[in-house]
Amino acid sequence: MQKTLFLAATLALSAVFSAGASPSRSPARTVQVRPYKGPVYSIFFHPLISEPREAFAVSSKQVFMDEWFVTVSEFKKVLASLYQRGFVLVSPRQFYVKEADGRWEKKDVLLPVGKKPLILSEDDVNYYKTMRTHGVISRLWVDPEGRLAGILTLPDGTSKVVYDNEVPQVLERFISVHPDFSLDGARGIIGETGYYGAFGYPDVANPKAFDHDNQVYQATKVAQKLRQMGWEFASHSYDHETAVREPDAQFEAAEKLWMKEIGPIVGPTPYYIFPFGELWNEDRTRMNFLNSLGFSYYFGVDRRASVGYADGSILLGRVAVDGRSLRLGAPSLRIFMDTKKILDPDRASLKYR
């Protein structure tokens, strides 16, 4: 225990002001920290389902929505479980650093004793048509007060502004109550494709559209707000296409479009999330090209958060938290949650299985 260090941390005051009582300061609490040597965990989500009845209604997309998405209430339960089990949100950059000589080093980051580091990511925060017509918000928006809002379009065509319906919103509220769920302000990584614009602004990908400039402006405001909150960004490819179906020349042209249209909105990033979790690391042509665009951290999907290295890049596995893994009680989720306690009753009542 020689290496154990002590850190006096004054916890943010979630001060309790009962009526008539005078405000009092809580005493500084000592948190014991030590260099963390264990695994870094990693999970990912897709945009959240705000309206389960719409998402799970009988339609051609019913199975799609059930398999790949979790609901707002499920996400809230997942967060509570992660916190209760000692996970703390971190950034990959805090743990994995590429040294000047090109070697990757895993840092022994100081963590409170008993805490486990967790990288959280959210893929496809583009609000494709399928999502926005099946109970997911249609875009993020920074409201006139500077808050991160979501626009939810209802089946009757009307829209409402919502503040507790997407991963960054729900997470922010959770961290305001549990500040020690985040290490040094870390939040997560948001993966953006390009073919449908960014953050629910499809005309970003359509330079000739009448609304193009305004949508770029709105999407940029969203990205700035998320960055202030502690979020980082990743490319999730431009086309979200499998390597089998997209020849290299077409792929490279599309990735250049990502750098041109989405890059300026989210800012430079070393993170790249493979579409469909397909591992491209064996494909030297593709990897050399992506490395030349400035990417060096690559994220896939697997049953545990594996770590691998390939020609100057690091490959990080992620565990999927989606309807399918929740419903099946996937063993990969066992360390994070008891899936039976997470499943939304609306989902469990689906009849088609």
Residue 253: which H helix or E strand, with range?
Answer: helix 248-257
What the block records as the tokens of 317 is 């596995």
Residue 162 CB neighbours (<10 A): 16
80 vs 257 by CB, closer to Zn ion: 257
283 vs 322 by CB, closer to Zn ion: 322
CB of 277 to Zn ion, least distance (A): 8
319-320 and 41-45 strand pairing:
parallel
CB of 100 to Zn ion, least distance (A): 33
CB of 191 to Zn ion, least distance (A): 7
Stretch that binds Zn ion, among 120-128, 162-170, 207-215, 320-328 (CB under 5 A): 120-128
123 vs 239 by CB, closer to Zn ion: 123
Place of tokens 């493979």: 274
Stretch that binds Zn ion, among 4-12, 16-24, 94-102, 122-130 (CB under 5 A): 122-130
**Residue 109: closest CA among 79, 83, 88, 130:** 88
Residue 294 CB neighbours (<10 A): 13
**Residue 106: closest CA among 122, 117, 114, 120:** 117
55 vs 320 by CB, closer to Zn ion: 320
Q: What is the chain's Cα-based Rg?
A: 21
Residue 302 CB neighbours (<10 A): 16
CB of 214 to Zn ion, least distance (A): 26
CA dihedral 217, 221, 222, 226 (to 10 degrees): 150
44 vs 56 by CB, closer to Zn ion: 44
| Cα 334–Cα 338–Cα 344 angle in degrees, nearest 5 | 130
Stretch that binds Zn ion, among 94-102, 116-124, 148-156, 179-187 (CB under 5 A): 116-124
Say how far residue 334 (Cα) sits from the centre of its chain: 20
Among residues 51, 66, 74, 123, the one that binds Zn ion under rule CB under 5 A: 123
Stretch that binds Zn ion, among 107-115, 117-125, 289-297, 331-339 (CB under 5 A): 117-125
CB of 114 to Zn ion, least distance (A): 33
CB of 340 to Zn ion, least distance (A): 27
Stretch that binds Zn ion, among 65-73, 123-131, 136-144, 262-270 (CB under 5 A): 123-131
CB of 60 to Zn ion, least distance (A): 20
Residue 124 touches Zn ion, criterion: CB under 5 A: yes
DSSP letter, residue 200: T
116 vs 132 by CB, closer to Zn ion: 132
**Residue 286: closest CA among 328, 244, 319:** 244
* Binding residues with Zn ion: total (CB under 5 A): 2
45 vs 87 by CB, closer to Zn ion: 45
Residues contributing to the site for Zn ion (CB under 5 A)? 123-124
